[in-house]
Amino acid sequence: MASRLASRLLLRRRPTAIISILRSCSHVRHFSTQLLEGVHRYSKPTRGRNLLSNALPYQLWSRSFASENGDLVEAVVPFMGESVTDGTIANFLKKPGDRVEADEPIAQIETDKVTIDVASPEAGVIEKFIASEGDTVTPGTKVAVISKSAIPNEAHVSPPEETSQKEAPPPPPAEKDKVEEKSPKVEPVKKQEPKLTTPPLKSSPSEPQLPPKERERRVPMPRLRKRIANRLKDSQNTFAMLTTFNEVDMTNMMKLRSDYKDKFVEKHGVKLGLMSCFVKAAVSALQNQPVVNAVIDGDDIIYRDYIDISVAVGTSKGLVVPVIRDTDRMNFADIEKGINNLAKKANSGALSIDEMAGGTFTISNGGVYGSLISTPIINPPQSSILGMHSIVQRPMVVDGKIVARPMMYLALTYDHRLVDGREAVLFLRRIKDVVEDPRRLLLDI
């Protein structure tokens, strides 16, 4: 009946009457949309636009639920990066009832590469968390509901009142338990005797017993650790890895640091460390042996005319490898500042995906943990990695005499499909020469 009446009105070009009829008939939603499209087609242009923008029923039906005064807002998972599709909620930084400010982190999401914060969109009080720790979430997933007008004190005071009311009823059963405990006290000996006789039977066998399962702990592997494990295994399966070693006398480099460390800090505001010295030495070696800075891509070899060195940093959540860009254009101070900045971000979990992508060569310093010698694994898709180790006083023959010198072992792991032994040895030899005599960097010899 409504459809016939609306059709007649449509022929008379009376759209206002059509809207009133369609609003009163909630069972003809699909037909109303078609008629309104017809109204837009047959009525005047300006009038048709007003009708569609102000009175379309399907626009009202598609609105998401919200409070009448807009008091509640939702915190959602932000964009994680082009190569990251999902993550795991590692922990919540706040609790329901806590006061949060705008853009204040309330939760941390662990991805394959970095840790991302979920920030509060508005200032207010956390009403509840929609997700739980350990849940896998994607960008746009709702994490928490925040009330802009709630008072933190009320939110904190209300739970204890509810818990006290809930804990009030249990006392009667507790009294019953006391009454029940009083009655069996008459026969304590009969119940305790069998318990005393059972332990000797368990301890009597002389066979070795395995540790009980109660002393084992099973926890899920973090996403970052999974990513590290997959990349290391892929590296072993892809590259034809070979490692060559050499040793470096650190006497001159350590003397250089001790002579100019105070003036260096006074001028540049950072300390002169060993890592910047080895980065400059690696830059010189990569310029002399460009194939070590290259990479295999299918049937092609890509030679890079830039040098972005990745520095391995160990954190509580795993090993991360941030990148120092354009190290061939940096001096010692710039490199030290870049390393310090990236190390602070790595320890606080503030590294971005862009800061860990695109390196051409990696340096890993296992000597800070006391490692004497090791064979580092290539960081894909790079073709080589330099391993530094601890400095140890060892007897060395110098000018025919045995003297104690601070020595360090160096290890270069490279992809033997691309880099031959000659280039690898010359590369490592160049680093040895530059570190043992830093004047070579100044004279470029």
The catalytic site residues sit at 416, 420
298: left (phi over 0), alpha (psi -120 to 50) or beta: left
Helices 29-42, 15-24: crossing angle, 10 deg rounding: 170
User: Before 381, cis peptide (omega within 30)?
Assistant: yes
Cβ–Cβ < 8 Å for 111, 122: no
What is the helix (H) or strand (E) element at residue 144, kind and residue range? Answer: strand 142-147
What is the 8-class DSSP label of residue 274?
H
Residue 395's beta-bridge partner residues? 404
Number of H helices, E strands in the chain: 14, 19
How far is residue 439's CA from residue 384's CA, in Å, rounded to a whole number?
A: 26
Q: Are strands 87-92 and 136-137 parallel, antiparallel or unpaired?
A: antiparallel
Written as six digits, the tokens of 150 are: 């709630």
| 3-class state of residue 264 by DSSP | helix
End-to-end CA separation in angstroms for the chain: 97
* Number of residues that this document lists for the chain: 445
Q: Which long-range contacts (CB under 8 A, 24 or more apart) does 37-42 make?
A: 38/10, 39/10, 39/15, 42/10, 42/13
Exposed, middle or buried: residue 427 (CB in 10 Å: 0-12, 13-18, 19+)?
Answer: buried
| 3-class state of residue 190 by DSSP | helix
Helices 274-288, 421-436: crossing angle, 10 deg rounding: 140
| 3-class state of residue 317 by DSSP | coil
How far is residue 118's CA from residue 92's CA, in Å, rounded to a whole number?
A: 9
How far is residue 384's CA from residue 242's CA, in Å, rounded to a whole number?
A: 9
How far is residue 56's CA from residue 29's CA, in Å, rounded to a whole number?
A: 10
CA distances from 441 to 299, 306, 430, 434 (A): 36, 18, 11, 7
